[in-house]
Structure 1
Amino acid sequence: MVSDLLRVCMLSMLSALAGWIGWSGHVLLLPVTLAFPAIWSCARTRPQAALFAAAYFLSASRGLPLGVANYYASDIRAGLLLWLIASVSFVIVHCTLWNSRCNWQKPVRYLIACLVMAIPPFGLMGWAHPITAAGVLFPGWGWLGLCAMIAGMGVMTTRRWPAATIVLTGLWLWSAAGWTTPTSPASWQGVDLEMGASLGRVAGLARQEALVDILRKHPPGTTVVFPESALGFWTPTVSRLWRRQLAGSNIVGIAGAAIVNDDGYDNVLVSLSPQEGKVLYRSRMPVPGSMWQPWRALAGGGGARADFFANPVVNVGGVKIAPLICYEQLLVWPILQSALHGPEAIVAVGNGWWTAGTSVIDIQRASSQAWARLFDLPLVISFNT
C-alpha cells in the first residue's frame, strides 16, 4: 500500500513537472510534454489517470489564476475557480479513455483523447496539447512531421516507450543544435506595444494618431501588424480617419479591433491603407468566459461571436496569411485548419496586458513559433503588454 502511494505521488509530480517545464514559454522545451503520454499509460486505475491528467494540465495552465485576477481586477479566488473549471474537460477525456489493458488499445485510446482535445467541443479548452512539440522535433516536415509526432505519442504509451524516448530525444537534440527562430516575411513588421489595459479601451483621436505615427515610421512598401484590439471599436469614422492619415503613403497596416452588432461583437483584424479600411478576419475562437459567452444568447445575446471554422486564411497584398488572435494560438484546430489551405505566413497577435506576472505570452509565442517551424512558414508576432 505504501509503495503504491509513493508510486502515485511520484508519477503525479513527474506529470506536473512535464506540464511546468514543457509549457514554460521556451519553445525548445515543448518536447518535455511527451512525458505525459507515458505517465498516463502508467496509471493502474481510472482515478490515477484522472490525477495524472489534472497534475499535467493544472501545472501547464498555472498562469490562469493570476491572469483572471488581473483581468477582472479581483482577488485570486475567482481565478482559482476558473482554473479548476478549465481543467475539467482535459481530465474527463483522459480519464474516460484510459483502460488497464497493455495492448494496442492503449495507444489507440490515447490518440483518440488527443483528437478529442484538438477539435471542438472539447478542443475549445485544448491547451497544453503535446502535439505542439511537433514543430521542435520535426521542423519543416509539415504534415509528415505531424503524422510522425502522432506515431511517437502513441508509442510513448506502450512498453516500447524507452526506445521511443531515445529516438525522440535524439531528434530533439538534433533540432535544438540547428534551431532557428521563424522570421517575418520580407517587408512585414510586427509591432509590440506597451500600453497596458488602455489599448482598445482608450481609442480617441490622440490614440489613433499615435498609432498612425508608429505606422508611418516604417519604410514605404511595409506591411505593419499591430496587436489585438489596437483600434478599439471599428467604425466608418475610424476607417475614414486612417485612410486620410495614410493618404500619399505606400504602407499597409493590419490591426485588431471590435465590431459591435445586434447580438454581441466580433473580434477582428482589419486592413488599413490609403484606399480602404476593411475587415480581414473574424476571430474563430475568442477567449471562453471573458469574451465568448454563448449562454448570453438566451438573454438576447452579448459577448464575442465565435466563427469556429470560418476564414482560415486571408489575403493581404497577394500574401495568403493564417491569422491567429490571442487564445487561438493556444489551441490546435485553428492552425491546422489554416495549414490545410496553404498559407504563406502566420500572423499571431494578442493583447496580453492581463498576463503580467505569468508566462502566458511566452507560451503563446512558443506555440506560434513551433507551428511556424513545423510548416516552414514565416511568422509575424505583435503583442501588447
Structure 2
Amino acid sequence: MCRDYLRPVLLIFASIAVGVVGWSGYMLLLPVALGFPVLWSIAQTRSVAALVSAGYFLAASRGLPQGVAAFYSSDIWPGLLLWLCASLSFVTVHTVFWTINARTRPFRYFLAVVVMSIPPFGITGWAHPVTAAGVLFPGWGWWGLGLMTAGLAGLVTRIWPAVAIALTGFWLWSAATWTDPKIPDGWRGVDLELGVSLGREAGLQRQRDMIATVRGAATDSARFVALPESALGFWTPTVERVWTGALRDGAATVIAGAALLDAGGYDNVLVAIDRKGGRILYRERMPVPGSMWQPWRSWFGESGGTRADFFTNPVVAVGASRAAPLICYEQLIVWPVLQSMLHDPDFVVAVGNGWWTKGTSIVAIQRAATTAWAKLFAKPLVIAFNT
C-alpha cells in the first residue's frame, strides 16, 4: 500500500523541483523544464497527472503571490488566489489531454503544447517547456522549434530515455559554446532602478531626469536608446513637446514605454521620439491579465483597464530596420514572439517595469526567456528594465 502512494508523491516532488530549477532565471537551466513532460507521461492516473502539472506550474510561477502583494500593497492572500487561478488553464489542459494509451500520448501531448501556446489558454501559458528551444538549438530558427516540439513529443513515449540523452547532448554542446545575443548596431538599452516611482511620478523634473539619462546613453555609435516600460508615464502633447525640444539638437531616437489614456481605458505602448516629434510605435498585444487587462469591465458597462491588441503590430519600423517589440508580460508567453518571428524582424526589443517583482526571480525569468527566443532565431536583442 505504501508503494502505491510513494510513486505519485515522488512524481509530484520531482515536478516541483523541475519547476523551481528550470524557471530559476538562469538561462542555461531552462532545459530542466523538459523533465515535466517525462513526469507527466509516467503518471499512472489522470489525477496524478493533474497534481504533477499543478506542482510544476505553481513552482515555476512561485514569485507571483509575493509580486501581486507588492503591486497592490496588500497581504499575500490576493496573490495566492491569483496564483491558483492562473494555474487552472495549464492544469486543465494537461489533465484533459493526459492518456494511459502510449500510442496516442505523443499526439495528445503535442496538442497540449499547441493549446498552451496560443489564446485563449496561452494567455497564461507561462513556463512553457518549448522556451528551452533557444538553449538547445541556438540559431536553428523554425527548424530548431520543430526539433524541440518533436523532442517534447518524444519525451512522452517509451523511448524517452534515448530522447533525453540526445537532447542532453545538444544542451551540453550549447552550454559549452554559448554566447549571449548581440546588441543591434546603433542601439543601447538603459536599465533603471527607480522602483515604484517609474510611471507614477509625472512631473517635469522626472522628464528632465530621463532626458539626462538618454543624453548620457546616446553617443555617435548609439543613436537609438531604449527606455523601460512606463518610463514616460502618460503620453500627452506636453510630454511630447518636452522631449522633442530636448532632442532637437541631436540625432538620437528614443524608444520608451508610456501609457496612452482615453475615456475607455488605456493602451500600454512604446513611443518613438526624435527631433521631428513623437509617434506611437507599438501597442502591447497582451497586458498582464487581471492587474492590467480586465475585459470583464466592459461586460458590466464599466471603463478602465488596459486594452489587448492581441495580433496587431507584431513588428514595427524603427529607422531603416524592423523590430519585434515585447513588453513585460509578453516575454513570459509563447505566441507574441512567434507571431513576430513569422515576419522575420531584424532584432528584438524587450522592455519591462519589474519593480513589483523585488525578491522574486520573475525579471530574471523574463530576461532568460527573451534571450532564449532571440538566440533560437539568431536575432540581436535590446533589453531595458526598471527594477
Task: Report how far residue 125 of structure 1 moved.
Answer: 0.3
Shift of 1:262: 2.3
Instruction: Say if 2:26 is the partner of 1:39.
Output: no
- Is the partner of 1:71 in helix, strand or coil? helix
CA distance in structure 1 between the partners assigned to 2:303 and 2:114 by the alignment:
31
1:127: which partner in 2? 126
Further displaced range: 218-227 or 304-313: 218-227
Counterpart Cα distance in 2 of 1:282 and 1:184: 23
C-alpha separation between the residues in 2 aligned to 1:183 and 1:311? Answer: 24
Task: Report the CA distance between 1:237 and its aligned residue.
Answer: 1.0
Q: Separation in 2 of the partners of 1:222 and 1:11?
A: 52
* Residue of structure 2 equivalent to 1:108: 107
Structure 1 length-normalised TM: 0.99
AA aligned opposite 2:18: A
Q: Aligned-pair distance for 1:172?
A: 0.2
* Deviation (angstroms), 1:319: 1.2
1:99 — aligned with what?
A: 99
Residues 52-81 of structure 1 show CA distances to partners (whole Å, capped at 9, x for unaligned) of 000000000000000000000011111111
Q: Which residue of 2 aligns with 1:190?
A: 189
In structure 2, the residue matched to 1:163 is 162
Match of 2:358 in 1: 356
Can you list the C-alpha shifts for 1:225-283, whole angstroms capped at 9, x where unaligned? 00000000001111111111111101110000000122110000000100010000000
Q: Distance in 2 between matches of 1:111 and 1:20?
A: 23
Q: Are 2:53 and 1:53 equivalent residues in the alignment? A: yes
Q: Read off the aligned partner of 1:73 and give its amino acid letter.
A: S
C-alpha distance in structure 1 between counterparts of 2:357 and 2:186, whole Å:
30
**2:269 maps to which residue?**
268
Structure 1 counterpart of 2:290: 289
State the shift of 1:2 in Å.
1.3
Instruction: Please give the secondary structure, in 2, of the residue aligned with 1:291.
Output: coil
Alignment partner of 1:286: what SS?
A: coil
- 1:114-163 Cα deviation digits (max 9, x unpaired): 10000000000000000000000000000000000000000000000000
Question: Partner letter of residue 66 of structure 2?
Answer: L
- SS of 1:320's equivalent? strand
Alpha-carbon distance between aligned partners in 1 of 2:262 and 2:183, rounded to the nearest angstrom: 34
Aligned to 2:252: 251
Matching residue of 1:369: 371
Which amino acid is 2:292 matched to? M
Q: Distance in 2 between matches of 1:382 and 1:243?
A: 21
- Describe the SS at the equivalent of 1:380: strand
Q: Report the Cα distance in structure 2 between the residues aligned to 1:207 and 1:332, rounded to whole angstroms.
A: 34
Matching residue's letter, 1:233: F
Q: Is the partner of 2:257 in helix, strand or coil?
A: strand
Q: What residue is the counterpart of 2:240 in the other structure? A: 239
- Secondary structure in 1 matching 2:7: helix
Partner of 1:305: 307
| Residue 152 of structure 2: aligned partner | 153
The Cα shift of 1:3 comes to 0.7
Match in the other structure for 2:16: 16
**Distance in structure 2 (CA, Å) of the matches to 1:351 and 1:157:** 37
Distance 2:112 2:141 in 1: 22
Report the aligned-residue RMSD. Answer: 0.7
**CA drift at 1:301:** 2.1
Take 1:320 and 1:27, find their aligned partners in 2: how far apart are those partners?
26
- The match for 1:347 is 349
Output the TM-score relative to the length of structure 2. 0.98
Identical amino acids, percent of aligned pairs: 60
SS in 2 for 1:268: strand
C-alpha distance in 2, partners of 1:114/1:88? 15
Amino acid at match of 2:333: L
CA distance in 2, matches of 1:336, 1:22: 21
Q: Deviations over 1:279-322 (max 9, x none)?
A: 00000000000000000112232100000000000010111000
Q: Distance between the aligned counterparts of 1:33 and 1:4, measured in 2?
A: 26
Moved beyond 4 Å, runs of 4+ = none
How many Å separate the matches in 2 of 1:148 and 1:241? 50
Cα deviation, residue 168, structure 1 = 0.4
Structure 1 residues 69-78 or 329-338, which shifts more?
A: 69-78
CA distance in 2, matches of 1:203, 1:188: 26
Q: How does 1:317-332 map to 2 (within 5 A)?
A: 317-332=319-334
Q: Which amino acid aligns with 1:39?
A: L
Secondary structure of 1:350's partner? Answer: strand
Partner of 2:28: 28
Unmatched 5+ stretches in structure 2: none
Give, as a single letter, the amino acid of the residue that structure 2 aligns with 1:38. Answer: V
